[in-house]
Amino acid sequence: MTPRIAFTPGEPAGIGPELAVKLACSGRSPDIARAQIVAIADPDLLQQEAARQGKTLQLLPFDPSQPAEASPEGALHCLPVPLAEPAVPGRLNTANGPYVLETLQRAADGCKNRTFDAVVTGPVHKGVINEAGVPFSGHTEFFAEQAGVEKVVMMLAADDLRVALATTHIPLKDVSDAITADSLQQVLTILHRTLQQQFRIEQPRIGVCGLNPHAGEGGHLGREEIDVIEPTLNTLRALGLDLIGPLPADTLFTPPQLARCDAVLAMYHDQGLPVLKFKGFGRAINITLGLPFIRTSVDHGTALNIAGSGVADTGSLNAALSQAIELAQLRTI
């Protein structure tokens, strides 16, 4: 199987175009070299970035009716989407907000009709898309809506550590109210099912963090563990899920405990992600669970301050592509 992976470089004024050119021209791992990478982007934007880097980029026409063929060194297959106005590195332009969404729409459509085996997304700038008059809360929500899925789960991975989130981008003061029995059961069910079906882990073991310091210390530091988390875990254990916890996060995120887990569920964003990024900064990736197709992403922003300078690091993109390719190949077994 030659996996066919859609790649959306994201915000045209950010480092996404630079990452695309480096992906084509700066060497690839063997697994990425075996895949067909289809950049959904403005061809002129990519060629201008290649010229800025002093590289020769070949853009091959993409024909979905033909069998997938690996993109050769120095080349990308391209599904062209035109910019509204020329992009200037580091300078946001609301005119190009709809362009970004069009690239995502093409990727979503291609994943839904099985033209693509997976989509890997580069960084977008939510603010400029919204300022263009298009409501947009993020990649995750966009793909969920396109797929007709009500609930998805954000999981980040670095090397052998996987951390899923019970809540995502909400203020810390709202986290406790957001952790309900229903939401926690949904998240853990999606996480368990994805580890089984996509990662092919027959009986995944999931470590679950408590919300409070010391996991509430028997109710003295909070009752969320007693009233919500532990009863929900027991309900799911009765259904066959292998769950450890709730444990204090500073206990669960230690090597002996992590060695027992295939994934960890953190209760909120900054409970789990600092550990993951410390372990794998520059290699961390974002994986959306609960979609009917594979979506991975870089775990960094548009980096407008260095756009056009040639110093962007491709580590996270390479990791996201490798993970997408691996999951696509597992899907065919």
Tokens 């986290």 belong to which residue? 175
Q: How many other CB atoms sit within 10 Å of the CB of residue 214?
A: 16
Phi, psi of 286 (to 5 degrees): -110, 135
Dihedral of the alpha carbons of 96, 138, 286, 291, in degrees to the nearest 10: -110
220 assigned to a ligand binding site: no
The answer to whether the annotation marks 286 as part of a ligand binding site is: yes
331 annotated to bind ligand? no
Spatial distance between the Cα atoms of 87 and 103, rounded to a whole number of angstroms: 15
Query: According to the annotation, is 279 in a ligand binding site?
Result: no
Is 214 annotated to bind a ligand? Reply is yes
Residue of 140, 131, 226 lying closest to 181 (CA atoms): 226
Q: Which uninterrupted H or E stretch holds 209?
A: strand 205-209
Give the integer Cα–Cα distance in Å for 99 and 205. 41
Residue position matching structure tokens 């594979």? 294
CB atoms inside a 10 Å sphere around CB 261: 21
Report d(CA 53, CA 97) in Å as an integer: 25
Spatial strand order in the sheet of 263-266: 58-61, 75-80, 36-41, 4-8, 118-121, 295-298, 285-289, 153-158, 161-165, 263-266, 205-209, 242-247
In a 3-state reduction of DSSP, which class is residue 199?
coil
Is residue 139 part of an annotated ligand binding site? yes
As to burial, measured by CB atoms within 10 angstroms (0-12 exposed, 13-18 middle, 19+ buried), residue 26 is middle
- The two counts, helices (H) then strands (E), for the chain are 14, 12
* Strand, coil or helix: 59: strand
- Which amino acids are annotated as binding site for substrate, given as ranges? 139-140, 277, 286, 295
- Which amino acids are annotated as binding site, given as ranges? 139-140, 169, 214, 269, 277, 286, 295
- Which amino acids are annotated as binding site for a divalent metal cation, given as ranges? 169, 214, 269
